[in-house]
Amino acid sequence: MKKDPFIEYLKEKDPSKQQKKYSWYTAVGLQKVDGLDTSNYLKEIAKRNIEGDITLEESQKLIDSYYEQATEAQKITEEADKVSIKITKLLSNKAFTFSVAEYINIHKFLFKDVYDRAGEIRKYNITKKEWVLNGESVIYGNYPMIRETLEYDIIQEKNVDYSKFSKEEIITHLAKFVSNIWQVHPFGEGNTRTTAVFLIKYLKTLGFDVTNDLFAENAWYFRNALVRANYNNVSKQIYETNEYLEMFLKNLLFQEDNKLLNRYLHVDYSKKPDIGAKKPDIGTKKPDIELAKIPLTNKTKENIIRLYQKIQQYIFGRKDIIDILGLSPSRSSELIKQMLEYNLISPVSGFGKGRYKFNS
């Protein structure tokens, strides 16, 4: 498990430091939904802000100045750093209006220094390949109807009387609401981060104390849960389900301890081996590694999906990866290492050295 860079503030008695720590840690963690990492420089600035040495405005100026002089290699963390500061600002500010305009303005505020069309509703339809769906895509909202659909969802939510709901009904309803607005996907990029910030601020208006680290530590799980809540493939007997999103919300709002592992959300997780296939002796597995911590790049995910479609339950080694994916020997070895780290495959004994099998 990756160490919390702000762990020393968890025991801090000063509530302002506790709140700052939560805002920063959540902001940094949410970058994982798009496979982004923040720089060590950003984390040092965050600690200085938490300590009260610099303000958020000064923090942003330092980051802006840093990237004005950054090398191309350093700029790989620019989006994550700049958006992290913006999320921290929003989470530190209690002001909020539950409206479509607020939702759109959050996107504009977060991404105005990153995307040319920040705060603009997309004018085209989109698809996004998802690891959790074996490269398939959710069907997102039709672009001519985006604003009308959002307005409808927000109006319906404003009319909800939570005083009549049990805890289970609250969770069920909130899961449906957030999955609906996420599926509309009003923006070309940055949709999940915008939705997460909007949801956190909305939950606070409902009186929920969401100053825990669920979003920070399970950001990619949150996104995958939204994907599974909006995907149907009847021909393969795969149906949309809010089960995973509800577990996340139960942990977030009512401090339950449901196990949030991304591999459970994969559409092939419960897939059984082919009948008659020889069952190999599986060696000791590596400990579970939560995928939300260090998400794979899109290219690596595509390679893993292609490999799985060809290999599935069969035993394979580096040469098979070279032949199937056309990768170099060194890149094939690196891919095996990454899959082991993510607990996607396990070593198999009795078939020679360097043989593996995808986990069921």
What CATH number has the domain bearing residue 350? 1.10.10.10
Q: Is the pLDDT of residue 289 over 80?
A: no
Domain closes at, from 93, 114, 132:
93
pLDDT in tens, 169-211: 999 999 999 999 999 999 999 999 999 999 999 999 999 988 7
Domain closes at, from 37, 60, 93:
93
Structure tokens at 288: 């579970």
Question: Long-range CB contacts (< 8 A, 24+ apart) of 355-360?
Answer: 355/315, 355/316, 355/317, 356/315, 356/316, 356/317, 357/280, 357/282, 357/313, 357/314, 357/315, 357/316, 358/308, 358/311, 358/312, 358/313, 359/263, 359/285, 360/269, 360/270, 360/271, 360/272, 360/273
Does 151 or 287 have the greater pLDDT score? 151
- Return mean pLDDT, the chain: 86
Q: Which domain holds residue 54?
A: 1-93
pLDDT band at 283 (very low <50, low <70, confident <90, very high): very low
CA separation, residue 13 to residues 10, 22, 48, 55, 238 (Å): 9, 13, 17, 20, 47
Residues 9 and 70 in one domain: yes
Residues 35 and 51 in one domain: yes
Is 348 inside any structural domain?
yes
**Domain total of the chain:** 3
Residues 240 and 106 in one domain: yes
Residues 151 and 238 in one domain: yes
Is 275 inside any structural domain?
no
Does 5 or 306 have the greater pLDDT score? 306
Residues 100 and 113 in one domain: yes
Q: What is the pLDDT of residue 295?
A: 65
Residues 48 and 108 in one domain: no
pLDDT band at 6 (very low <50, low <70, confident <90, very high): low
Residues 264 and 138 in one domain: yes
Rounded to the nearest 10°, the torsion over CA 313, 317, 321, 323 is -110
Domain closes at, from 51, 73, 93:
93
Does 285 or 115 have the greater pLDDT score? 115
Q: What is the pLDDT of residue 278?
A: 40
Residues 172 and 24 in one domain: no
Phi, psi of 307, rounded to the nearest 5 degrees: -65, -45
Residues 211 and 292 in one domain: no
Is 127 inside any structural domain?
yes
Contact (CB, 8 A) for 336 and 307: no
Residues 33 and 106 in one domain: no
Structure tokens at 296: 């794979």
Residues 19 and 39 in one domain: yes
SS3 assignment, position 345: strand
**Distance of alpha carbon 191 from alpha carbon 182, whole angstroms:** 7
Is 276 inside any structural domain?
no
pLDDT band at 290 (very low <50, low <70, confident <90, very high): very low
Determine the distance from the C-alpha atom of residue 315 to the mean position of all C-alpha atoms in its chain, rounded to a whole number.
Answer: 31
**Distance of alpha carbon 215 from alpha carbon 272, whole angstroms:** 32
Residues 214 and 353 in one domain: no
